[in-house]
Amino acid sequence: MTRIVADLHLHSTASDGADPPARVVERAAEAGLTAIALTDHDTVAGNAEALAAGRRLGVLVVPGCEMTAYLGRDEFHLLGYDVDSSNAELAAHCAWFAKGRTRRAHEIGKRLAALGVPVDMDSVMARADAGVVARPHIAEALLEAGHVATREEAFDRYLANGKPADVPKPELPPRTVIGLIRAAGGFAVLAHPALSPRDHLHHLPQLMKDGLAGVEVWHSAHPDHARDAVATEADRFGLLKTGGSDCHGAGPWKTALMGRWGMEAVAWEKFLAFRARHRG
């Protein structure tokens, strides 16, 4: 197996990951990675800590985020790379989105109580530890309360899209989200397009008009045929190809994703070349 040198899709306790940003970088160094991107959900709060750890450990850290957008019924996750975490417009969006996620979490809590599987919302908020509260925090609370046997069961029975306790996130169109990433000096990449119940690849022409720069090809949940299909479309449209594990650090299997999925040296060099052109 060719060595993975860069993992550009990682999460920390700034959103729904299990490890603090510095520990994410430490794990990356232990896995022998040259570079990572911290891409927490709708927040850039962990980037400063990750960058400092990267300088200390000799790991190149690309400051990033993973932002949610909607186009009709379709939910998109957009990875923002090289964003300026101090950008006022991006910071305002993250604050707005965090408040929306908090409201969403409490609504999910009400729905779970009505379903006869209540959770302690104070515990849920404590799990988020002042970061962005997300469904994995609620899944942990369901597990702790004995309502489910695994986190996966929590999603399958209650929390996944379309399930009884599902509550949509605050909604913005991709054009707005990509604009926020670009205004903060970054560039946007469509995350794990093959994971959507509906094929997101047919949206690429419109997303490119909105300013999309690339597509995540290599992802831990992309089977070979999906990876190849995404790579083909990326090449057809001349889009940057990126990759990452989407590791959240929860449990031995999830933690083991780091170093096994991401970008090989050739793809990473192309990313660096694109990055240099973007910076001008």
Task: Show the tokens assigned to 98.
Answer: 């965090």
**6-93+170-279 adopts what CATH topology?**
TIM Barrel (3.20.20)
pLDDT grade, residue 177 (50/70/90)?
very high
pLDDT exceeds cutoff 80 at 88: yes
Beta strands 60-71 and 35-38 are: parallel
Residue 198's pLDDT is 63
Q: In this structure, are residues 192 and 217 in contact, taking their beta carbons and an 8 Å threshold? A: no
pLDDT exceeds cutoff 90 at 11: yes
pLDDT exceeds cutoff 90 at 126: no
Longest CA–CA span in the chain (Å) reads 56
Per-residue pLDDT tens over the stretch 59-77: 999 999 999 898 877 889 9
Output the CA angle 83-106-119, nearest 5 degrees: 115
Mean pLDDT, rounded, of the chain? 91
CB atoms within 10 A of CB 183: 15
Instruction: Domain 102-159: state its class.
Output: mainly alpha
6-93+170-279 and 102-159 in the same fold: no
Stretch 188-211: mean pLDDT: 87
Domain boundaries, the chain: 6-93+170-279, 102-159
Per-residue pLDDT tens over the stretch 178-199: 999 999 999 999 999 987 756 6
Per-residue pLDDT tens over the stretch 34-64: 999 999 999 999 999 999 999 999 999 999 9
Stretch 195-218: mean pLDDT: 88
Nearest Cα to 16, choosing from 108, 126, 135, 124? 135
Stretch 161-167: mean pLDDT: 89
